[in-house]
């Protein structure tokens, strides 16, 4: 529960009340922290690559606007290819998607535009040689 500013105490009988036209200074309460909740769901999808016959579509939604976006998707098996789009998005800036480093079970998706909003979910398709499932999704530092 956010902390509310305390109301000014009433003047004691011996204290002189401030004149009506004089403003009392109040410190405004700080805004509550914004907590970004990221939810996802996944489902099997068709693959268009013979060498990677399995596809998993991961739909990521948030309840706040996020920009830039940088996510790591950890799966329980090897990922062969990564594709993504933002629903309703047409132009993308500073994009990266792939399976970096020696761990081939973690996909990374990064972009600076468009903003990920509650109205426009992120859709990621992971292609693989075997049936895979998402273990976790984490935000990456910028």
**pLDDT digits 0-9 by tens, 21-57:** 555 556 666 666 555 689 999 999 999 999 999 999 9
Asked whether residue 1 is assigned to any structural domain, the reply reads no
Asked whether residue 15 is assigned to any structural domain, the reply reads no
Angle value at C-alpha 55, between 76 and 117, nearest 5 degrees = 90
CATH classification at residue 59: 2.60.40
Task: Report how far residue 73's alpha carbon sits from residue 120's, in angstroms, rounded to the nearest whole number.
Answer: 19
Region 82-101: mean pLDDT is 92
> How many domains are there within the chain?
1
Q: How confident is the model at residue 13 (pLDDT cuts 50, 70, 90)?
A: low
2 pLDDT more than 50: no
Task: Report how far residue 52's alpha carbon sits from residue 69's, in angstroms, rounded to the nearest whole number.
Answer: 26
Site of tokens 């399976």: 99
Asked whether residue 55 is assigned to any structural domain, the reply reads yes
Q: What is the pLDDT of residue 3?
A: 41
**Could you tell me the two tokens for 62?**
């948030």
- DSSP 8-state assignment for residue 79: -
Site of tokens 């329980």: 76
- What's the domain range around 83? 38-139
Asked whether residue 22 is assigned to any structural domain, the reply reads no
Asked whether residue 86 is assigned to any structural domain, the reply reads yes
């Amino acid at each position: 529960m956010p902390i509310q500013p305390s109301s000014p105490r009433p003047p004691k009988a011996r204290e002189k009340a401030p004149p009506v036209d004089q403003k009392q200074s109040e410190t405004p309460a700080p805004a509550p922290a914004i907590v970004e909740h990221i939810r996802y769901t996944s489902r099997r999808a068709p693959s268009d690559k013979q060498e990677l016959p399995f596809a998993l579509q991961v739909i990521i939604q948030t309840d706040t606007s996020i920009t830039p976006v940088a996510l790591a998707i950890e799966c329980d098996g090897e990922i062969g290819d990564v594709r993504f789009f933002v629903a309703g998005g047409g132009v993308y800036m500073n994009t990266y998607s792939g399976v970096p480093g020696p761990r081939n079970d973690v996909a990374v998706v990064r972009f600076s535009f468009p903003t990920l909003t509650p109205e426009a979910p992120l859709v990621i398709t992971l292609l693989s040689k075997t049936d895979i499932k998402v273990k976790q999704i984490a935000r990456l530092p910028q």
